[in-house]
Structure formats: C-alpha cells, structure tokens
Structure 1
Amino acid sequence: MAGSTGVMEDNMYEFFRGQVAAIAPDCVVIDVNGVGYRLLVANPYSFHVGEDTLVYAQLIIRENEQSLYGFNDQEQKRLFNLLLSVTGIGPKSALAILANVDTQGLAQAISANDVAFLTRFPGIGKKTAAQIILDLQGKIDQHLDLFTPEVADSAAPASAKLADALAALTALGFTEREVKKIEPKLVKEQLDDTDAYLRAGLKLLTKH
C-alpha cells in the first residue's frame, strides 16, 4: 500500500516490448503480439505510432479500478514508486511530477526544502509538498536521467503538435485556464514536435 491513497502496487508486469499502436494525451497503447496494452504515461508524445519500444510497467490496483502505468526506463519507474510512497501522492500527481523535464531541479527542490517549487505541480498543496520533502530527502539522485532522447514528429503540422501538447498538459492535471494562459507563449516558440511543446509548457507552468 502506498501512503494513505488507497492505492495498491502490484509488480505483476515488469515491462512490455512491442509496437506503439496508438497515442492519446494521457496514454499509449502497446501492441504485444496482437494484444493491446493501455499504459498511462507521463509524456505520451515521447513515443511514436509504429515504432518498436520497450516500456517498463507498474500495475496499480484500486477498489474499482486496475490501471497500468508506463515508464521510459527503470529509474523513472523507481521515482514513480518513491512518489507513491509519500502520503497524499496519487498516481496522477506522480505522473505530473515525472513529466517535468527539470529532474535536477526537482531533486534540488527537495534537498533545499523548496515547497514553492513543488506546489507548482497539479494536486500538490503545501502540506503534500512538505511531506514529499520529509519523505524523499536523500532518496533521489540529483543526476537522474529519466527521459529518452526526443524524436521529432515533423510530419504533423505545428498547430496539431501544439494542440496535442496542450491536451497532454490538461491530462496531467493542469487546469484549462492555466494551459490557455501559456498557449500564446508556446505559439511563439515554433517548436519541432509535440514532445518539445509539452516540455516547454511544463517549464512555463512549473517555473518560479
């Protein structure tokens, strides 16, 4: 059982190796020998339809729901489970934190007791931020590399890439008002792919 969230972790699945069949703002579908597994992930647009991939997995069981969560590597999965061990952190909040590109900043915020940084994430109030610091100080390496290299999805028009990124930010728990507020700044960026727009959006939403 993780914290007091009523969430039970089950390591029935270690990873899935297959082809990316579909991408949505909050998940990817991996085709493993004809069986489609839906995995909730922090950044679905780091994946690309049709590519072969290996996704580390964690099964989360609640009273009325079983959900699979996916991760780029074992370190990202380890951090997810560390976050779930904190009282008040559920899977959705943990994914929102994982989606933040500045992992060193996260580790430094925890080390420096920086409550303000942590409360930038959706669903994280001051009490929960303080609990994260209390529980995870000394447990997170400041040099974790939790993200795979970006691959440009240059075939999609810029407007579609941005729209997908905005939908992904909403799926992570940021409000539509927050997302709409940063949209003009992202439009000016003229970035190459959805992943880049999502990362830029996260920087804007979580900056001091």
Structure 2
Amino acid sequence: MYEYLTGLITAVKPTYIVIDVQGVGYQVHCPNPYHYQVDRQHPVTVYIYQSVSDSDISLYGLVDEEEKQLFLQLLAVSGIGPKSALAILASPDHQGLIDAIANNDVSYLTKFPGIGKKTAGQIILDLQGKIQQLSLTDQVDEVTDHQDEPALLDALAALRALGYQERVVSKMKKQLAKKPGRTTDEYLREGLHLLN
C-alpha cells in the first residue's frame, strides 16, 4: 500500500495527473487535477490511496494527510466508492461538507453528482459523530499564468469527468465565460462553487 508519492508532475488531465517518480510515471486520479501544474523541476508530494478490484488497479491522490483522512472516511460509507469520494472532495469547501454531515444537511450532500437522498442519509448516518473537525485548509497555490479559453475548456471537461450532466456544464460555461483570464483551477473552483 502506498502512503504518498514524491516526484515531478509531467501531465495534468481532466481526471488525473501523471507523477514521475524516478523515471516511472504514475497515473493518479485527483479531486481537482488542476491544483497541480506540469513542473519538471520541482518535486511535489501527493498522498495516495490504492484501489484494487478484479479488473482494475487505480491510484487516487490527495493534497495532504487531512484530505486523505476525509477521503478514507467517505470510503467507509456504504455505497461510496473512490470515484464518488473524489467527486465530493472536488468541492474546495471541505469544512462545508463536514458541517453538512454534523448538521444533518441532506440537501447539501445531494448537490454532489451521483449522491441521492438515500446515499446522503447514509453518509450522515455513518459519519456523524465520527468525522472529526479536520483542520482542512485550502492549500491551493494561486496560478498567475494567463490562460483563457483552453483553461475554461479544461475546467468544463473536469466537471464532466466528475459526473455533472452536459446541460449543467453548458449552463456553467455561459456563466464562467463572463470571467475571462482565469486559470483552469480558478474556473473549476468557481464552477463547483456555483453548483454547490
């Protein structure tokens, strides 16, 4: 089992990053791949969860130990798999998630793709009282490179990959296009904020 990988980010795609660890490229699925930038000079550490099934072995990457702990707690809920947990954690407001669980806020949880009332209720039932008030902080570094339309298209592709329906993504495109000059990460965060 992997705890973390430290290496160079060689690719950033809508659903995953590629991290090169001493010449081996690992495909790592992330809640928000655009948190990372391709950088072949400065190594980064990504906290890892390895999922093994009959037909697949996948790696899931989290920003820090606290986010990984929250991811593992979500996986402990009946009906939540790694992809659903990633979609939930794609929202930058992790404290809002923790508060929603603590306050029985089913409507907040059903805003995430693939989470219906039954699953939201199960999340609350399984995690209420167990989920700690994690000291989750937003550690995403602001990207200053100017990106325009390609950044928006990448962010929309990431929303689709997270499971949001095409009609919702199309609506989002109109709203996000009014804010040119943002990075993919900023567009994605803004889109998730509007959706939630």
TM-score using structure 2 length: 0.94
Task: Judge conservation of contact 2:7–2:21 (CA < 8 Å) in 1.
Answer: yes
2:29 pairs with one of 22, 40, 44? 40
Task: Judge conservation of contact 1:122–1:174 (CA < 8 Å) in 2.
Answer: yes
SS at match of 1:19: strand
1:83 pairs with one of 71, 74, 79? 74
C-alpha separation in 2, matches of 1:13 and 1:145: 22
RMSD: 1.4
Aligned to 1:8: none
1:23 pairs with one of 7, 12, 23? 12
Instruction: Tell whether 2:182 aligns with 1:192.
Output: yes
Task: Judge conservation of contact 1:73–1:146 (CA < 8 Å) in 2.
Answer: no
CA displacement at 1:153 relative to structure 2: 5.1
Task: Judge conservation of contact 1:71–1:77 (CA < 8 Å) in 2.
Answer: yes
Amino acid at match of 2:12: I
Task: Judge conservation of contact 2:5–2:47 (CA < 8 Å) in 1.
Answer: yes
Alignment of 1:43-82 (within 5 A): 43-50=32-39, 51-82=42-73
Distance 1:54 1:163, change over 3 A: same
Instruction: Tell whether 2:150 aligns with 1:160.
Output: yes
Instruction: Tell whether 2:165 aligns with 1:175.
Output: yes
Residue by residue over 1:136-160, the C-alpha shift from the partner in whole angstroms, topping out at 9 and shown as x without a partner, is: 112334453254232315243x111
User: What percent of counterpart residues are identical?
Assistant: 52
C-alpha separation in 2, matches of 1:153 and 1:39: 24
C-alpha separation in 2, matches of 1:105 and 1:155: 30
Aligned to 1:145: 136
Distance 1:200 1:81, change over 3 A: same
Amino acid at match of 1:38: Q
TM-score using structure 1 length: 0.89
C-alpha separation in 1, matches of 2:4 and 2:95: 26
Task: Judge conservation of contact 2:146–2:181 (CA < 8 Å) in 1.
Answer: no
Residue by residue over 1:5-37, the C-alpha shift from the partner in whole angstroms, topping out at 9 and shown as x without a partner, is: xxxxxxx11111110010110000000111000
CA displacement at 1:131 relative to structure 2: 0.4
Amino acid at match of 1:19: L
Amino acid at match of 2:56: E
Task: Judge conservation of contact 2:31–2:89 (CA < 8 Å) in 1.
Answer: yes
SS at match of 2:46: strand
Distance 1:165 1:108, change over 3 A: same
SS at match of 2:49: strand
CA displacement at 1:73 relative to structure 2: 0.5
Amino acid at match of 1:172: L
Task: Judge conservation of contact 1:15–1:57 (CA < 8 Å) in 2.
Answer: yes
List structure 1 runs of 4+ shifted beyond 4 angstroms: none
C-alpha separation in 2, matches of 1:75 and 1:28: 20
C-alpha separation in 2, matches of 1:204 and 1:191: 18
